[in-house]
Amino acid sequence: MNSIKNIAYLALISGIAVSCKVQKYERPEIKMPEAFRSDTIVTDNSENIAKISYKDFFKDPVLVALIDKAIVQNNDLQLALKQIEFASLAYHQSKWANVPTVSATVANASLSRPSDNSMNGMMAGQFMGRKYTEDYSTTINISWEADIWGKIRGRKEQALTEYLKTQEAAKAVRTQLVASVVQGYYNVLMLDTQLEITKSNLAYSDTTLKYLTKQQEVGLTTALAVQQQEIVKDQILKTIPAIESSIATQENALSLLIGSMPDKIERSASLNNIQTPETIASGIPADLLSYRPDIKSAELDLRKSISGIHVAKMSMYPSFSITAQGGLNAFQASHWFSVPGSLFGMVAGAIAQPLLNGKQLKTQYEQSKVLSQQAEITFKQSVLKAVGEVSDALIQIQKLEEQQKIAEGLVMKSNEAVKKADILFKYNSATYIEVILAQSNKLQAELDLASLKAQRLNAITMLYRSVGGGWQ
């Protein structure tokens, strides 16, 4: 009968232990769209630019060299990598959580002189013939907590997810860093182009001013026309220092991104000859779960919170620990290492059940469930945000291409208008105001086109980052 009870008891304990194992993670169901909104520029959804290394996606060798330098020297990325190193050490430490703790006291010697009227004093005088006692010991202590409920396994799972999360955080920093370097580089090229346009228009304005001055000298135009052209020229001249200042500021920002002191940035290309991918394939929304570091990081937070629920629940259960001690002990130094006479040992087992702090542990358990619910919401929100960012980038690329085509037409028309205005003015068929207006329209159209080209390149870069590209 007793054996049957023992078997039943062991079966009960085993069943409880199995039921208390760490819950296997299952990703929450998220209804993903089949395609991104405004996915009209994508030729093949089976492809995804996130799979392409930045070295292959961006064709400018100078730009690629800047990105390489940033990845090696950028301080934010270096901090993220150090965080990985820190979390890795914590994870490897957690692997030893269920290994017995062993400590040793190599030598411990004590001398005690009890009072003559105490029990110890009387016994020392009676049995040892002296009024003091000596004690010499060398001990080894071993303690071990049995992971019956899987609490230690749950903590190891938390440490693992934290380690993996730091890896995803570093990837997120890297994708943002790549995008920031590329956008900064394109902005420098845009400012270079705008400076070139402005200087070209300044030279043209100066030529017009000289022509009007000669016209005034022979009485064919008024002083007002000359003065108006001088104003136009000075307005163009005034923008040159502002553009040059913006170039220097952008170069300084790029230098900081690549981990260097502020300095000039080399560039081998111009805004007009930057090569872009022939096809810009964003893949399908479900790909984001695999490529976006922020989504993977949020999912790891969810996994960690589920392990936290298990740990909090198991903290309310009894803990079973075993302690053992053994070594050498003697009351005289001459007998300290006498074997086997000085050998001793003991083994003890204990079951500890939380009592007075049970309410606190229950509250922590309920809080862990709320934290897990929050983590799930954050994960779902990160997916929504990512899909939105990709859709935004696709729409921007599409609409900026439309704007760029219109702007290119405006530049052609404004150039023709300037030529016609000059010819008509020379034959007294147009006023100086029409000449000035044509020049102003030409300058603005060319500056706008340069800005739109840069915006489109930056939108392509943002799409690359939004789909998870840049960390490969």
Which tens digits make up the pLDDT trace of 35-89? 787 755 554 566 788 888 989 889 899 999 999 999 999 888 888 888 888 888 8
Q: Which residues contact 68 (CB under 8 A, 6 or more apart)?
A: none
Continuous H helices in 258-357? 288-291, 293-314
Q: Which residues contact 337 (CB under 8 A, 6 or more apart)?
A: 328
Query: Does a cis peptide bond (omega within 30 degrees of 0) precede residue 262?
Result: no
Q: What residue has token string 């840049």? A: 470
Task: Count Cβ atoms below 10 Å from residue 365 Cβ, excluding itself.
Answer: 18
Domains along the chain? 16-98+147-317+359-466 (1.20.1600.10), 106-146+319-352 (2.20.200.10)
Segment 433-460 mean pLDDT: 92
- Going across the sheet that includes 133-146, the strands are 101-112, 133-146, 319-330, 343-352
What is the secondary structure of 428-465 as a DSSP string?
Answer: TSS-HHHHHHHHHHHHHHHHHHHHHHHHHHHHHHHHHH
Q: Which of 314, 318, 320 is nearest to 355 (CA)?
A: 318
Q: Which residues contact 121 (CB under 8 A, 6 or more apart)?
A: 114, 115, 131
Q: What is the rounded distance in angstroms from the CA atom of residue 229 to the CA atom of residue 210?
A: 10
- How is residue 249 written in tokens? 């500021």
Q: What single letter denotes the amino acid at residue 16? A: I
For the chain, how many residues are written?
Answer: 472
Q: Residue 282 has what DSSP assignment? A: B
Q: Are 147 and 297 in contact (CB under 8 A)?
A: no
Per-residue confidence (pLDDT) for residue 231, from 0 to 100:
92
Q: Residue 270 has what DSSP assignment? A: -
Q: Are 232 and 224 in contact (CB under 8 A)?
A: no
Residue 120 has pLDDT above 80, yes or no: no
> Taking the C-alpha atoms of 398, 401, 405 and 407 in order, what is their torsion angle to the nearest 10 degrees?
110
Least confident of 12-21, 445-454, 456-465: 12-21
Q: Residue 420 has what DSSP assignment? A: H
In this prediction the pTM is 0.80
Q: Are 17 and 27 in contact (CB under 8 A)?
A: no
Helices and strands per DSSP (H, E), number in the chain: 11, 4
- CA-based Rg of the chain, rounded to a whole angstrom? 39
131 pLDDT tier (thresholds 50, 70, 90): low
* Mean per-residue pLDDT of the chain: 83
Per-residue confidence (pLDDT) for residue 95, from 0 to 100:
65
129 pLDDT tier (thresholds 50, 70, 90): low
